Amino acid sequence: MTEDSPEINSLTHVAIIMDGNGRWAKQQNKKTIFGHQEGAKTLQKIVEESVRQKIKFLTVYAFSSENWLRPKDEVESLMGLMRHMLKNEVKKLYKKNIKLKIIGDRSLLPKDLQDLIQKVEKKSENNDALTVIMAISYGAHQEILTAVKKVSEQVSKGHLQAKDITQDIFSDFLETKDIPDPDLLIRTSGEQRISNFLLWQCAYTEFYFTPVLWPDFNETEYQKAIETFYGRKRRFGLRE
């Protein structure tokens, strides 16, 4: 690398906190679920654009561990929406050579959704244009704690020594095993927080916050985020 050829950031993995569906629905004087339905349409557009942009991994935060505490009817309609997407919309993913992976505590989901997830993951496992990772019933604290328990079990069984636990070994116990850390994290709706999303994985991720509500987010807004990312100087703690 010479001084004349500045290093260009490479964008392999984009993570998105898809926020603002509720406020969008309120603006339209509609019920919250209407915002979630529109948000699902945005997701489809962004998945397709990610393929065009040759991004390899797209992780989207669809439902957090804390979202279980929302009103029962909202939780139920969100489960219904996910059920609908997993049943009807995934065919488009298969056609586009997209792999689908779900992270989060799926044991809390209705049994039929768990079965659907397993089916979709299996059916798409050999696709390799883009991997879409949906975080459903996901919380980073819970993910890290589960990994700690699994590592401890290995240690107590004598398969691993505490002094030998490296960052790479620990990462392998997370649900994102074999997935590179996100290069770019986008959060819509103007909130500037991480809300228990990918805490371990985002150690050196570039953050992009936009006031645009998720149902209004589109290919042009996505392109803006990507261009901003390419203009960033990533240092990873080093002296340039």
The answer to whether 19 contacts Mg ion (rule: CB under 5 A) is yes
Which CB atom, from 43 or from 120, has the smaller least distance to ligand IPE? 43
Q: How far is the CB of 70 from Mg ion (least distance, A)?
A: 10
Contact partner, 208, from ligand IPE, Mg ion, none, Cβ < 5-8 Å per class = none
Q: Under rule CB under 5 A, which residues in 106-165 are in contact with Mg ion? A: none
**Residue 104's closest CA among 66, 77, 71?**
66
Options 17-25, 84-92, 95-103, 155-163: segment touching Mg ion (CB under 5 A): 17-25
The answer to whether 213 contacts Mg ion (rule: CB under 5 A) is no
Which CB atom, from 24 or from 57, has the smaller least distance to Mg ion? 24
63, exposed or middle or buried, with CB in 10 Å at 0-12, 13-18, 19+?
buried
Name the region of 20 (left: φ>0; alpha: ψ -120 to 50; beta: rest): left
Q: How far is the CB of 129 from ligand IPE (least distance, A)?
A: 25
Active-site residue among 67, 127, 172, 181?
Answer: 67
Q: Answer yes or no: 67 catalytic.
A: yes
**Helix H or strand E encompassing 36:** helix 32-52
**Residue 104's closest CA among 59, 145, 134?**
134
The residue ranges that bind ligand IPE (CB under 6 A) are: 17-23, 61-64, 67, 78, 189, 191, 193, 195
Which CB atom, from 105 or from 172, has the smaller least distance to ligand IPE? 105
Which CB atom, from 124 or from 215, has the smaller least distance to ligand IPE? 215
Secondary structure of residue 30 in the 3-state scheme? coil
Which CB atom, from 23 or from 106, has the smaller least distance to ligand IPE? 23
**Residue 133's closest CA among 88, 191, 93?**
93
Strands (E), 169-231: 184-187, 206-209
136, exposed or middle or buried, with CB in 10 Å at 0-12, 13-18, 19+?
buried
Beta bridge mates, 16:
60, 186
Q: How far is the CB of 25 from ligand IPE (least distance, A)?
A: 8
25, exposed or middle or buried, with CB in 10 Å at 0-12, 13-18, 19+?
buried
Q: Answer yes or no: 4 catalytic.
A: no
Contact partner, 224, from ligand IPE, Mg ion, none, Cβ < 5-8 Å per class = none
Contact partner, 23, from ligand IPE, Mg ion, none, Cβ < 5-8 Å per class = ligand IPE
Q: Under rule CB under 5 A, which residues in 25-44 are in contact with Mg ion? A: none
Q: CB of 100 within 8 A of CB of 121?
A: yes
For Mg ion, the binding residues (CB under 5 A) are: 19
Active site residues: 19, 67
